[in-house]
Amino acid sequence: MNPNKTAESKNVRNQRTQKLLDDIAETQRLNLVGIEFLRGIIEDHSDRVHHGVVERPNSNLIVYGELANYCIPLEHIIQAFATPFTTGAVVGLPPVEVHPLGKWVRRNASACIQPNGHSDIPGTDSLGILVAALISDRDLFADPSQDPFRRALMQTYGMIQSPVSDLYADFLEKQYGATIDYGTGEISIKGTHGFTWHLGAINDPEVSSYSLSSSVRGGHQRNHTEDTMYCMYNCKELHYLLPALSNAPTILPDREADDLAHSSAIMTSVATHLVPLRRAIDSVKIELGGDQRRTRVTATTYTTNGNTQQKT
> Model confidence over 58-101: pLDDT tens digits?
899 999 999 999 999 998 888 888 777 765 555 678 899 999 99
Residue 7, pLDDT score = 65
CA distance 178 to 189: 5
What is the structure's pLDDT at 303? 38
**Residue spans of the chain under pLDDT 70:** 1-8, 86-91, 115-120, 255-257, 284-312
What pTM does this model have? 0.77
Instruction: Give the span between the Cα atoms of 241 and 259, in whole angstroms.
Output: 9
pLDDT at res. 311: 39
Residue 3 has a pLDDT of: 64
Task: Name the nearest CA neighbour of 93 among 38, 39, 43.
Answer: 38
- Predicted confidence at residue 154, as pLDDT, reads 94
Bridge partner list, 97: 71, 110
Residue 84, preceding bond cis, omega within 30 degrees?
no
Residues 6+ apart with CB under 8 A from 230: 265, 291, 292, 293
Asked if 191 and 199 count as a contact pair (C-beta separation under 8 A), the reply is: no
Bridge partners of residue 309, in order along the sequence = 302
Residue 271 sits at φ, ψ, to 5 deg, of -60, -25
Q: Which of 196, 197, 163, 159 is nearest to 181 (CA)?
A: 159
- Non-local (6+) Cβ contacts of 220 within 8 A are none
Cβ-Cβ contacts under 8 Å for 89 (sequence gap 6 or more): 79, 80, 83
Q: What is the reported pLDDT for 4?
A: 63
Digit-coded pLDDT (tens) for 152-189: 999 999 999 999 999 999 999 999 999 999 999 999 99
Which pLDDT belongs to residue 87? 52
Q: Which residues pair with residue 9 across a beta bridge? A: none
- What pLDDT is recorded for position 304? 41
Q: Output phi, psi for 211, to 5 deg.
A: -85, 155
Residues 116 and 190: their CA atoms lie apart, in Å, by 32
Residue 194: closest CA among 236, 227, 222: 222
